[in-house]
Structure 1
Amino acid sequence: MGCSVRSERVRPLLVAASLAIAGAAWGQVGKLPADAVDGFHAALKRKDTAGALSHLDRALVVFEFGTTDPTVEAYALSHLPGDMDMAAIADWTLQARRVGGSGNERWVLSTYRISGKRPDGKAIDQVMLETAIVRRVGESFRIVHLHWSSDKNDFQSWAQTKQRPAP
């Protein structure tokens, strides 16, 4: 059996295990809407898959650079690994944030300045816009929708080449 075939068989098992581990941590997320977003970004920076998943609702839908991950499983299999790689090499500085909504559904609009260096040595210097919709689950909030866009087309193209196609 070739390495890529074995990898394709093992990947779903790893995602299932990560979701199970994250399930245990899902009670530990933030009590404010922005806590879910900040906790998610911190977990990405640490390359902590279970930690990142613990901030995501099971109904998650992600719009990222013109692509869609329609489920949390699809995001975990396709874009999450690349998002963690990017977060590990870049600094996301929060420039502005608005939080709104009421009841169990809230939104968090954030603008970040992202800086760092890509593995090829090219500088990263851009603005990233993020829309997060969060839902109260018990005493905490979890992200049910993320939408990212950037002011730099070349960064979007480069970031997309680092992503795996959604299953």
Structure 2
Amino acid sequence: MLLKKIFTAILLMAFSFSAFSHGDKKEEQSPLMVNTDTEVGKVVAQFHAALQNSDVETIKTILAEDVLIFEGSGAERSLEEYASHHMKSDMKFLASIDSKLIERNIMINGDIAISSSRSKLTGSFKGKELNKVSIETLVLKKVRSAWKVIRVHWS
């Protein structure tokens, strides 16, 4: 039932982007950086900083216990599973390469938000040169006045 509500909210947000993207104030923002200065935008930035700085405690406060993470062809279905499997390798990877944010678009509708980002990744990792664009989608939900990441998709 919760998944159906989240899916419905995502669809509504996607089809009504122009109605919800502005809020009450008109801000000067790059068309590639939308709503990054919001509370949600700050949580997304904290999540990325925590991954790059191997800050496990901050990551555990941002990710929901039942977070669903899709990366490549795999899935991790909880914070506990992610912490015991790929979190450390993701941290090592991000600490060893350069990541430059190209664009981030955040849509907020009530207690649900979606962050869509593209980043340029360069450098080398485990002896392999890297030069690619990474795509990320985060779905956040406001839980007891705090924004939590409930879905992650990296490709």
- 1:72-110 alpha-carbon deviations (Å, 9 max, x no partner): 111111111111011110122110111113010110000
1:129 and 2:135 aligned: yes
- Aligned with 1:47: secondary structure? coil
1:48 and 2:55 aligned: yes
Letter in 2 for 1:81: K
Match of 1:111 in 2: 118
Whole-Å separation in 2 of the counterparts to 1:33 and 1:45: 19
> How many residues are treated as equivalent by the alignment?
119
Kindly state the Cα deviation for residue 66 of structure 1 after the two structures are TM-superposed: 1.0
Whole-Å separation in 2 of the counterparts to 1:100 and 1:86: 28
Checking the alignment, whether the CA contact within 8 Å between 1:117 and 1:123 is kept in structure 2 is yes
Q: 2:92 aligns with which of 80, 85, 102?
A: 85
Q: Percent identity?
A: 26
Match of 1:94 in 2: 101
- Aligned with 2:57: secondary structure? helix
Kindly state the Cα deviation for residue 127 of structure 1 after the two structures are TM-superposed: 0.4
What residue ranges of structure 2 are gaps of 5+ in the alignment? 1-36
Could you list the runs of 4 or more consecutive aligned residues of structure 1 that deviate by over 2 angstroms after TM superposition? 137-140
1:145 and 2:121 aligned: no
Whole-Å separation in 2 of the counterparts to 1:53 and 1:87: 17
Whole-Å separation in 1 of the counterparts to 2:145 and 2:38: 6
1:75 and 2:85 aligned: no
TM-score for the superposition, normalised by structure 2: 0.71
Whole-Å separation in 1 of the counterparts to 2:43 and 2:97: 20
Over the aligned positions, Cα root-mean-square deviation in angstroms equals 1.6
What residue ranges of structure 1 are gaps of 5+ in the alignment? 1-29, 150-167
Whole-Å separation in 1 of the counterparts to 2:55 and 2:108: 29
Kindly state the Cα deviation for residue 139 of structure 1 after the two structures are TM-superposed: 3.1
Whole-Å separation in 1 of the counterparts to 2:106 and 2:70: 19
- Aligned with 1:81: secondary structure? helix
**Larger relative strand fraction:** 2
TM-score for the superposition, normalised by structure 1: 0.66
Q: Which moved more, 1:76-85 or 1:134-143?
A: 134-143
Kindly state the Cα deviation for residue 31 of structure 1 after the two structures are TM-superposed: 6.6
Kindly state the Cα deviation for residue 119 of structure 1 after the two structures are TM-superposed: 3.1
Whole-Å separation in 2 of the counterparts to 1:34 and 1:132: 11
Q: 1:33 aligns with which of 18, 25, 40?
A: 40
